Amino acid sequence: MLDNLKQAYRRCSEYIHGNVSTSQMLPTEISYREDITKEWLSVADSALSATIHCLMVRYYKDLPQSLKGITEGSLEDHFSHLVSVRKLLGLPLEETRS
């Protein structure tokens, strides 16, 4: 999750600070570009997922049990691929072989 957030930050920073390779792919006139829109949505999705994960890690333990039940299904649906979430929700962990 941290790597995803770092990549999203780096990509946004390239647009904000005018990285040469990023600036060259932007149109000089205001126009719609599907490829840029898709990239932006991908970066936004990564940033959103990382933010939700950070908030969940920080605040889940402080929720009353009645609210934990409401959020557990969504956390399992969207973040059960993360070991931290599986541990938090008491889900089985995949065995690792060495």
Conformational region of residue 97, where left means phi above 0, alpha means psi within -120 to 50, and beta covers everything else: beta
More confident residue, 26 or 3: 3
User: Is the separation of the CB atoms in 93 and 86 below 8 Å?
Assistant: yes
Query: Which whole number is the average pLDDT over 22-47?
Result: 83
Burial-class residue 72 by CB neighbours within 10 Å (0-12, 13-18, 19+). Answer: middle
Average pLDDT of the chain to the nearest whole number: 82
Model confidence pLDDT, tens digit, residues 78-98: 888 888 888 888 889 876 554
The residue that leads in pLDDT, 77 or 57, is 77
Q: How confident is the model at residue 38 (pLDDT cuts 50, 70, 90)?
A: very high
Average pLDDT over residues 60-77: 85
Q: 19 or 88: which carries more pLDDT confidence?
A: 88
16 in Cβ contact with 61 (< 8 Å): no
pTM score of the predicted model = 0.62
